[in-house]
Structure 1
Amino acid sequence: MADFKQDSNHYDTLKVSPDASQAEIKQAYRRLVKLFHPDSNQETADKEQIIRINAAYEVLGDSQSRLNYDQQLQSESQNLNSERQQRTASAQKHYQTTRKSGKDADEQVEEWLRLVYQPVNRSLCSILNSLEQQIEELAADPFDDELLDEFQEYLKNCKADLKQAQTTFRSLPNPPSLARAAAHLYYSLNQVGDGLEELSYFPLNYDDRYLHTGQELFRIATRLHCEAQASVE
């Protein structure tokens, strides 16, 4: 995601008011992209302007990112302190979890498989097996607003599922006997995250390279996922 800077104003870039609705922001973004993108208007094409417009929409187009941006405009230091507190709380939780003891090794394996591996495995299967159909549907007309909306909604749902899977993965320490499977799951989740980020750039500039890169990262994630499954069997 683009860095937040107090000396720049994404609202001015998109020519909208700070009170604009999400629909108005999306409408303004698409109007400006069509104005400056070389594929739609050679006379007014401006690569640098497209970069600025994409950066602004990347922040303002998502309600949570926009809220974070507005808050940081008001008090950057307050947000940094909040992030530190969250990292500290997460580290403390992880430390407390890793100190949990007294369980038989077989019980630890069974618990990890039931509470971590199985739900993460289901999430990965759902995300990895759904991409090709989404790409095929989008290929019908990559510039169609409705198809783009559906593709972005798909990516949003995948990111939410991925976030939940990552949280689940961190909820328990993996048993030593399943360290190999846990490592493959971890790297598969990371590849899925990188792939979703690449795919998210396509609606911003219609560059097919982001689709191809995202698909390749998904293929790597699939291979790692299969290796995790093999390690558990």
Structure 2
Amino acid sequence: MSDLYQILQIDRHADGAAIKKAYRRLVKQYHPDRHPDGHEPMARINAAYEVLSDPDRRAAYDRRHAPRRVAVVSRPAANPDLTFELWREQVYVPVLSILEQGIAALSQQIDDLAADPFDDVLMAAFMDYVADCRQQCQRARECFRSRPNPPQSARSAEYLFYALNHFGDGLDELEFFTQNFNEASLHAGAELWRIAQEMCDRAAAAFPQWPPY
């Protein structure tokens, strides 16, 4: 696995601002809209940023990758078919399912709430739904981080990453709505989830046939 600091082209002592600046620069450079072959590099860049932008995960990574003397052990090459199948079963399918189930229920939740947004019972039900989505979002993020995607699924993994980000941002807006009853937040959350669903659809469309024929 490549060194995460090398992927982001930063020093191991870089602070949070430097990490974010490097990430934004690389996104502009390798985004698939500008770089036709940018899907695989973007998958590595996103994965590196996910770790290094989180202080706890960065500290754990640094501990695991501290320089040390180890014996060189020859290991058999990983089976690409098995690696791909494990990623599909343990990451792709559950993450996609969590996101799509949460998004699909939003329309009915909004319709129910529209009867009377100031009704305590209806608002409590909506808040329970949002809280459950928050738990599921955290579960999806942990699942996404649990196993690196194989190279042939880089494009699909990239869209899943974007879907997760939009889903989380939409949740922030929906939670804000439950606190201040600002309909603009409700509409913003719904729009972010519409984009998240679009990213899910793209992830499914980009999912590779494996083994290739």
Q: TM class, shorter-chain normalised?
A: 0.5 to 0.7
The 2-side partners of 1:94 and 1:185 are apart by 27
Offset at 1:161?
0.4
Offset at 1:150?
1.0
Offset at 1:87?
4.2
Does 2:63 correspond to 1:88?
no
Structure 2 gap ranges (5+):
1-53, 67-74, 209-213
For the structure 1 residues 165 and 148, does the alpha-carbon distance in structure 2 shift closer, same or farther, using more than 3 Å as the test?
A: same
Q: 1:136 is matched with which residue: 108, 111, 115?
A: 111
For the structure 1 residues 151 and 91, does the alpha-carbon distance in structure 2 shift closer, same or farther, using more than 3 Å as the test?
A: farther
C-alpha root-mean-square deviation of aligned residues, in Å?
A: 2.3
1:49-128 matches, within 5 Å, as 84-85=55-56, 87-89=58-60, 102-128=77-103
Amino acid at match of 2:85: E
For the structure 1 residues 209 and 187, does the alpha-carbon distance in structure 2 shift closer, same or farther, using more than 3 Å as the test?
A: same
For the structure 1 residues 139 and 228, does the alpha-carbon distance in structure 2 shift closer, same or farther, using more than 3 Å as the test?
A: same
- 1:173 partner SS: coil
Offset at 1:154?
0.6
- 2:148 partner SS: coil
Does 2:194 correspond to 1:226?
no
Matching residue of 2:180: 205
Offset at 1:84?
4.7
The 1-side partners of 2:90 and 2:175 are apart by 30
The 2-side partners of 1:134 and 1:179 are apart by 34
How many residue pairs get matched?
147
Higher relative contact order (CA 8 A, sep 6+): 2
- 2:147 partner SS: coil
Query: Percent identity, aligned pairs only?
Result: 41
Offset from partner CA, 1:116-149 (integer Å, 9 cap, x none)? 1111111112111111011111111111111111
For the structure 1 residues 110 and 85, does the alpha-carbon distance in structure 2 shift closer, same or farther, using more than 3 Å as the test?
A: closer
Q: 1:183 is matched with which residue: 148, 153, 158?
A: 158
Offset at 1:89?
2.3
The structure with more radius of gyration? 1
For the structure 1 residues 90 and 128, does the alpha-carbon distance in structure 2 shift closer, same or farther, using more than 3 Å as the test?
A: farther
Offset at 1:102?
2.9
For the structure 1 residues 201 and 131, does the alpha-carbon distance in structure 2 shift closer, same or farther, using more than 3 Å as the test?
A: same
Q: 1:145 is matched with which residue: 120, 130, 151?
A: 120
The 2-side partners of 1:155 and 1:94 are apart by 38
Does 2:182 correspond to 1:215?
no
The 1-side partners of 2:132 and 2:61 are apart by 24
Offset from partner CA, 1:14-34 (integer Å, 9 cap, x none)? xxxxxxxxxxxxxxxxxxxxx
The 1-side partners of 2:65 and 2:185 are apart by 35
For the structure 1 residues 102 and 129, does the alpha-carbon distance in structure 2 shift closer, same or farther, using more than 3 Å as the test?
A: same
The 2-side partners of 1:187 and 1:101 are apart by 34
Amino acid at match of 2:59: T
1:35-54 matches, within 5 Å, as none
Offset at 1:101?
7.7
Offset from partner CA, 1:3-52 (integer Å, 9 cap, x none)? xxxxxxxxxxxxxxxxxxxxxxxxxxxxxxxxxxxxxxxxxxxxxxxxxx
The 2-side partners of 1:180 and 1:93 are apart by 28
